[in-house]
Structure 1
């Protein structure tokens, strides 16, 4: 929030709410929701604002959950830990450390709130390790009358609410199924793209966590392979200076400068991408899992990401390459990111019922992504794609219903829990129907 209102991190959404509340307790949250609903006002909760879509846009009542942070309880025997909904992902490792626990998987950014991350389908990579919503073992949802709806792992509604887009209530508490703390050995390489693609299926199958980044206008890719190790294994973390140079100086400061230069002189982009592709990689290190999974990113960008069936990845990626080849005037400075996830049972998950791969495209926030994103979206749709709920896409409810087998069931639960649409906004009306 500032004097102009609320805006998300990507600067793609700005709104001036009618009311803003920052509840300091779950009881405060319950009162705020009940009062707003009684006044006929729509309510939306926001966490860290890291969604690129308007899923958190709150033109009437904005609930800022930043004061609802912390660990409520943890049980090393079951591996379950319960957090307040506004807890930031980067705070979780420290909260879990005394219990010898960790999250099973993470994405590459940890600035989000737990509630926001699960509600939009945030995920990492790994053919055997699901996204964050798949780790949810329980929820407390605040309903329009201010009441608490508690869902545990045996409740059939958890599969809907664990990735609920904020449409079924305001999340107050999240219980995660954690795992014993572990280390990751990271191997990062710069490789010819054709080498990566030649044995892609085998790499994904053999690794705990594999991903690659292709730099448009080049034939190079950066690969990252992470192997899970017991907590008692020998650590070999990156030296502080090397980490700072790689992840702060090069990946943020220098990259920001080259992106800015590319907007002024687009012809520079291919050469810069070639240099970046050659420079990345060549690192091996072993550290605590959150320090390997995540990186700090300060360069502002816009993003679109689609999941496709895992078996369709190479065809979809090849079609994306053709789109860029057919549009030589585009100068794309951000790499294309490719990741994997196993099938899960969350009704609105991009991985619902199918092993999947993700293709994410980005543009520097000062560049217009419209033509690039529109072309990529058509490629993804042609290969069975489902859009990430927190990243840019143009789909509406009718089209989405064809891509999610439990879509109608989710709508029925929404009608049951929020018949008066207290928790809706323009984005939810578009993707779920009014």
Structure 2
């Protein structure tokens, strides 16, 4: 049976990108990935990998060969002494949490969505929140990838270590990740405290809240004066606690966080003048709450309401004024924005294409219901964030190009040099990478 099957139309989760590849491939081994790349090269076709499709850009889109890595999943090896785990690249984050727990381990940090594959999440710069923690890619200590010429390359602290800062977060431009080794930590619990607070009060105390908490984030609903804060505290795994009741947790996450939100979005889409009142009502519904549980259960929540998103990283200290500027932008525009704005923070790191490269960063993420046109809002947000030396999240919608991204990334040209080494023929190129990296 040929590895290259006839293509079928593909769409991402947010319905903001689509493609009609000539072929699809579903390898179940590293050797098959090698064969796919070499076969595509013989046909002169580009190759792209897709995970869960949770990127909002067209970073995975191709007219050539679209590769699904769902056949490469699972924990491959565990080094209990060093707390390192080797994982197949197609493993989904929701699978990884329970698998690591069986070995008394956990990811040191996660985002609030766990549907992505580990390769897709790290390659696009997925992050959580917490000033003592970097994005998911900072947890990679080794990686195995198939290069543009169909060669298997292993990179770790002893073999080609100079490539690690590029390979950890490669935008899918350097090769097909097939395995990653992750630096884990001992299993732990999280206590999450949700509490509404006045918008200005939260911004005035931003620096203290972000620095003092293990993980702090907040949501601001446009057209309101309240922010919904969320503070997570790390606890030893053996800490006595009462886990959330499954029925109550299901009701909260399904009925409140998703079904109620969906109803709000549908009504706001059909009757925009109602959006401010609906948002004010939402701030009263999403009130105080405390939950304690295993880390991966508290970090992530299900997302059943489709949306589109744009997110920027800016210098940490710029956050209060930048968010006030976002609020002013919405107020002046007359837009009716029904989705909340999310704010997080992350530690500086050394990965060349990381949005947090070389600086502690604050993240502002704006969203729109997927049936609402996001263009005007996202373009204005994009332009505003540029004035704060912002760096766009690689998996979220933005309008930047290589020429104006280069000054934002001190190691931009070094990254392109690695790309020239590992994919000189641009086997993994597509329109998105041409835009943000150049041809």
Is 1:381 the counterpart of 2:390 in the alignment? Answer: no
Write the distance in 2 (CA, Å) between the matches of 1:305 and 1:173: 28
The answer for the alignment partner of 2:342 in structure 1 is 337
Shift of 1:78: 0.5
Name the stretch that deviates more: 119-128 or 32-41: 32-41
Is 1:394 the counterpart of 2:399 in the alignment? Answer: yes
Is 1:327 the counterpart of 2:333 in the alignment? Answer: yes
Q: Which of 118, 121, 125 matches 1:114?
A: 118
Q: Which of 169, 174, 181 matches 1:175?
A: 181
Cα offsets for 1:407-428 (capped at 9, x unmatched): 0000111111111101100100
The answer for the alignment partner of 1:368 in structure 2 is 373
Write the distance in 2 (CA, Å) between the matches of 1:409 and 1:52: 26
TM-score by length of 2: 0.97
8 Å contact kept, 2:219–2:342: yes
The answer for the alignment partner of 2:310 in structure 1 is 304
Is 1:87 the counterpart of 2:85 in the alignment? Answer: no
Write the distance in 2 (CA, Å) between the matches of 1:105 and 1:23: 29
8 Å contact kept, 2:149–2:423: no
Is 1:230 the counterpart of 2:236 in the alignment? Answer: yes
The answer for the alignment partner of 2:424 in structure 1 is 419
Shift of 1:191: 1.6
Shift of 1:24: 1.1
Cα offsets for 1:99-127 (capped at 9, x unmatched): 10000000000000000000000000001
Is 1:352 the counterpart of 2:357 in the alignment? Answer: yes
The answer for the alignment partner of 1:262 in structure 2 is 268
8 Å contact kept, 2:7–2:21: no
- Alignment RMSD: 1.3
The answer for the alignment partner of 2:295 in structure 1 is 289
Name the stretch that deviates more: 8-17 or 360-369: 8-17
Cα distance, 1:2–1:147 mapped onto 2, change above 3 Å: closer
SS state at 1:37 partner = helix
Write the distance in 2 (CA, Å) between the matches of 1:145 and 1:266: 52
Is 1:128 the counterpart of 2:143 in the alignment? Answer: no
Aligned pairs, number: 433
SS state at 2:150 partner = coil
Q: Where in structure 1 are there 5+ consecutive unaligned residues?
A: none
Shift of 1:295: 0.2
8 Å contact kept, 1:30–1:142: yes
Cα distance, 1:33–1:4 mapped onto 2, change above 3 Å: closer
SS state at 1:402 partner = helix
Write the distance in 2 (CA, Å) between the matches of 1:153 and 1:260: 50
Is 1:70 the counterpart of 2:65 in the alignment? Answer: no
- Spell out the pairing of 1:22-171 with structure 2 (5 A cutoff): 22-154=26-158, 155-171=161-177
Write the distance in 1 (CA, Å) between the matches of 2:260 and 2:318: 35
Cα distance, 1:182–1:2 mapped onto 2, change above 3 Å: farther
Shift of 1:38: 2.5
Shift of 1:238: 2.1
8 Å contact kept, 1:220–1:278: no
Write the distance in 1 (CA, Å) between the matches of 2:312 and 2:329: 16
Cα offsets for 1:48-89 (capped at 9, x unmatched): 111000000021011111111111001111111011111000
Shift of 1:3: 8.6
